[in-house]
Amino acid sequence: MAETVTRMKLTTKNVEQLAKAMPPGDVWDTDLAGFHVRPSKRGLTFRLYYRTKTTGKRRMMTLGAYGTLTVAQARKNAIEALAVVAQGGDPRAVIEEARAEEQHRQQQTIGAYLDGPYTVAQRRKKDGNATLRRIKHAFAEWLDTPMSALTYADIERWQGEREAKGEAYTTSKRHLGALKTMLVHAADRKVIPANPLARINLQRPAMSEEEMLEQASQRRYLETEEVEALFVGLEAYQEQKREQRRSSRAHGKAYLPDLDGVAYVDHVMPWIKAMYYTGFRPGDLFGLRWEHVNLEFRTIRKVIEKTAHHHPEPMTFPLSSAAIDVLTTWRQQQGEPKTGLVFPSPRNGKRMSPTAMQKPWANIRNLAGLPDDLQLYTLRHNFASQLVMSGTDLLTVSRLLAHSDIQTTIQHYAHLRPDHARDAVELLASSSMKPRGSA
């Protein structure tokens, strides 16, 4: 007789009832394919069946026991595993790789862990080799030191030595940040009990008046007339390129494409507009792919490069109508690509270098009559500032900026809403001044 297949939505309430009744066979979730619980003498176990993309073989993955995992946690783990499968991976292989890393617990010193498990992890990342070199050079005298033995006093001495050599505070901070990230990696894998530097930061030197002015100018928003000037400068850049092309075609280079009939003369204008309308960091625009862009649903879904080591999962960002218009027009002009970089290098089709937009930005800034010290990154600060000043709550702004901590958003942008606080205290004052008995 065929076994009866039991299906129901695996909710906390339903799984609690199953744990009491202990049915004779597996109970399958009606919402998530392959997700089910299996009863046994030891209790209920969450499991997942899936098929690998490469071989098409059906595989089973044990997610964990009910009680150790909640239903929500098990479902989340199953969804994450299926996401790995969708990308052509095998979640069991991912687990096995993590277990292999656990076997290196004996590697306790900074140098041993740096050369062993951390090298394996960093070589998967774009800037991983640079991170390894940074730690090895900045902490060369500590390579034989056990990771758990590091103390606040060690960091104070180290900072003093770096300052004596003339190293900038921001450089030392990046060095220490790289080391602390490695220690977090080791602690997560139980190689060390905990990160000994988790609550330790460098002592910030007093800022000079010049440095304070520089910092204020860097993190600012665009005034209304500056926004108008920016867009005038973009159009002037386009006309400048068109005129150069007309001249080239008239003087023996007729084979060059005519730029008068296209919306964008090159990647510069859509790139800058994309940054203006999304607030993305330059690196995320350089790495943006058409696979990340969904024009129908008006979203971008991608892993944020700056925080990828902390948050490797992709994030979803809504797109404004203006951003959609820019990307749609650019995509049409590029021949409707479905894959590949949105803004590839015009020279080799690969990812552009981090400095690729510096000269175009300087040209546009000059054409627009904008200040010479106006940085390209100001477009990101403007995006955030305008949202805050229009009344958007800081949590939403933090998510749109992909800040790893809302405190970063609060620190840099909360001051832009003084009127909200003033309105609140004025409301309190006006209500307290009403005569008793009044409506």
Task: Report helix angle 394-401 to 378-389, nearest 10.
Answer: 160
What pLDDT shows up at residue 214? 45
Length of the chain: 439
- What the block records as the tokens of 31 is 């919402």
The residue type found at 324 is I
What pLDDT shows up at residue 207? 56
Long-range contact set of residues 40-45: C-beta below 8 Å, sequence gap at least 24: 43/19, 43/67, 44/15, 44/18, 44/19
Confidence of residue 55 (pLDDT cuts 50, 70, 90): confident
Q: Which residues contact 96 (CB under 8 A, 6 or more apart)?
A: none
Average pLDDT over the chain, rounded to an integer: 86
Confidence of residue 48 (pLDDT cuts 50, 70, 90): very high
Mean pLDDT of the region 46-50:
93
Collapsing DSSP to helix, strand or coil, 315 comes out as strand
What residue spans of 279-377 are helical by DSSP H? Answer: 282-286, 321-333, 358-368
HSE-up (13 A, CA, CB side) for residue 293: 27
- Rounded to two decimals, what is the model's pTM? 0.52
Q: What is the pLDDT of residues 405-415, one digit of tens each?
A: 888 888 778 77
Greater model confidence, 208 or 139: 139
Mean pLDDT of the region 196-216:
68
How many angstroms separate the CA atoms of 35 and 49, rounded? 7
- Domains belonging to the chain, first-starting first, are 6-101 (3.30.160.390), 110-204 (1.10.150.130), 224-421 (1.10.443.10)
What pLDDT shows up at residue 352? 92
Return the DSSP state at 228: H
> Which segment, 19-28, 85-94, 398-407, is predicted with the most confidence on average?
19-28
- What the block records as the tokens of 391 is 């009344």
Least confident range of 239-243, 246-250, 410-414, 422-426: 422-426
Q: How far is CA 214 from CA 207, 208, 219, 361, 438, in A?
A: 10, 10, 9, 19, 53
CA 103 from centroid of its chain's CA atoms = 30
